[in-house]
Amino acid sequence: MIDIDIKKRYKNINFHFKTKIAINSLSAIFGESGAGKTTFLRLLCGLETPDSGYIKVENEIWFDNKTNLPVQNRDIGFVFQDYALFPNMTVIENLRFAQTASDENFLKELLEIVGLTKHTDKYPALLSGGEKQRVALARAVAKKPKLLLLDEALSALDNKMRVQIQNDIQIIHKRLNLTTLMISHDIAEVYKLSSNVIIVENEKIKKSGPPDILFENTKLSGKFKFSAKIIKIEPADTIFIITLLIGNNLTKVVATQEEIQKMNIGDNVLVASKAFNPIIIT
Amino acid sequence: MFMETMLLTFKVALIVTTILFFIGIPIALWISSTKSKLKPVIETIVSMPLVLPPSVIGFYLLVFLGPTSAIGSFVEKWFDLRLVLSFEGILIGSIIFSFPFMIHPIQMGLQSLPKSLAEASFTLGKSRLQTLLHVQLPNIKNSLLTGIVLTFAHTVGEFGVVLMIGGNIPGETRLASIAIYDEVEALNYDLANQYALTLFAISFSILFLVYIINGKFNGALK
């Protein structure tokens, strides 16, 4: 069990994070940008120091009023949002640098999992965003840490690459018996990967629990609800047809003259639908 | 005479550059990463030689390092070393005068690196020193080179501080830039020209080389 109750004051903002995380679980940290998700991860791994409270990981105290284990001694792997690969080292050198005891076979296995065996001797500057992200993932686990922390690791990637790296994370999480915490904005991603969701709101952990229970009460009810962006508003006879972007899909919805008064192109809106019977195509 | 002065000039420049390289890196690292309130104070002190007339620095060094001063008499008593009108004196003067030329490029280089690079290294269990040696310094090679070359060239070219604290002792404190002044005063234009042209050619070649090498470093990282 990872038991956390920490407070930090930073420029008049009071952060307070209190939660319990099961060992070997994969938790998603969910919340709006600016809510404090990254700060939570940085405090947990020791890149920032809390003002008060405690962090206990199994039987080890990482932080309390007497102890403050330096980040180097906390058994973690951290994937940064900007990848933070070392430009002066090739892919394999980046991974080797991360290991305390050399284990080339394990590095080989990691590179196979993330599909980078062809790129071992390339410098990071020559890799695509997705490839860099996978090197960063492999590097973070190269020393076989207990805890894997991912800071918005997937937000900058396109859908296809995202799905692939989601799979990589799942495989690595299981293969190494990791306890993983990842920041995510995407409910689908949260559902797919995590067994535990930590919802961060206004610099605090609002609640945590399994995603289906947590989201069913709030975000998901009997009706369909999507956030969308208005792309086009065009008249058709006496009504108007509104083109919406939902995720990566364009959808058309009908609106009346009265309704479009409040709408502008580029607005972010909520599209909801009640009382219909959806078909799920697999 | 000519060779002796030129060799002395480069000996001073080489020693000053080496010493400043090793002092400069930790100071630049501290300035680039600290959140301390002392930071602007230290930055100001480091930059002072850029704006102060060399004669001001030379004057204070004379006052504080002279044989009657506390530091001067202490060093003379215990190490049998005189800090003014001596080779050691011009070394100290040159180190202080060239301080910003080493520290600024290294500081800028370190600041230009994303913070996450050093942090990533820390999360991988590496100490500050390991991070500096394996991650930070190898990624600011062009800044290091710029610092080394500017310091070297600036030390070769300095005049005021050396004249104030070192005087003009052939083979001991007479550097090329002082020799030029000296020869012009004695109306030896040919010899002055020989010094001047040599300094000009060497400075040009060094800077030219730096720009070529820096271009290659930048190309390799892109």
DSSP B196: H
CB B221 to CB A143 under 8 A?
no
Does the predicted interface ipTM exceed a cut of 0.95? no
- Quickly count: other Cβ atoms within 10 Å of residue B204's Cβ: 11
**pLDDT higher than threshold 60 for residue A220:** no
Give the model's pLDDT for residue A63. 95
Report residue B222's pLDDT band, with 50, 70 and 90 as the boundaries: very low
Nearest-Å Rg of the Cα atoms of chain B is: 20
H/E run at residue A88 = none
Give the model's pLDDT for residue B209. 87
Residue owning tokens 């945590």 = A208
Question: What are the structural domains of chain B?
Answer: 2-221 (1.10.3720.10)
CB A140 to CB B221 under 8 A?
no
Q: Where are the domains of chain A?
A: 2-217, 224-273
CB A84 to CB B114 under 8 A?
yes
CB A97 to CB B126 under 8 A?
yes
* Full-model pTM: 0.80
Give the model's pLDDT for residue A216. 64
H/E run at residue A116 = none
Chain B hits for A38, CB-CB cut-off 8 Å, are none
Contact B118, B101 (CB under 8 A): no
Chain B hits for A139, CB-CB cut-off 8 Å, are 120, 124
Give the model's pLDDT for residue A222. 56
Nearest-Å Rg of the Cα atoms of chain A is: 22
The dihedral region occupied by A144, where left means phi > 0, alpha psi between -120 and 50, and beta the remainder, is: left
The residues pairing with A15 across neighbouring beta strands, listed in sequence order, are A8
- The CA dihedral of B167, B172, B176, B180, to the nearest 10 degrees, is 50
Chain A hits for B135, CB-CB cut-off 8 Å, are 86, 88
* CATH of the domain spanning A2-217: 3.40.50.300
Chain B hits for A45, CB-CB cut-off 8 Å, are 123
CB A72 to CB B126 under 8 A?
yes
Chain A hits for B121, CB-CB cut-off 8 Å, are 86, 97
The C-alpha of B136 sits at a distance from chain A's nearest C-alpha, in angstroms, of 9
Is B120 near chain A, with CB under 8 Å?
A: yes
CB B116 to CB A47 under 8 A?
no
pLDDT, tens only, A258-273: 888 878 787 777 787 7
- Distances B220 to B59, B136, B142, B147 between C-alpha atoms, Å: 46, 16, 11, 20
CB A84 to CB B117 under 8 A?
yes
The C-alpha of B144 sits at a distance from chain A's nearest C-alpha, in angstroms, of 15
Least reliable range by pLDDT among A40-49, B129-138, B209-218:
B209-218
Name the architecture of domain A224-273.
Answer: Beta Barrel (2.40)
Which residue would you say has higher pLDDT here, B60 or A275? B60
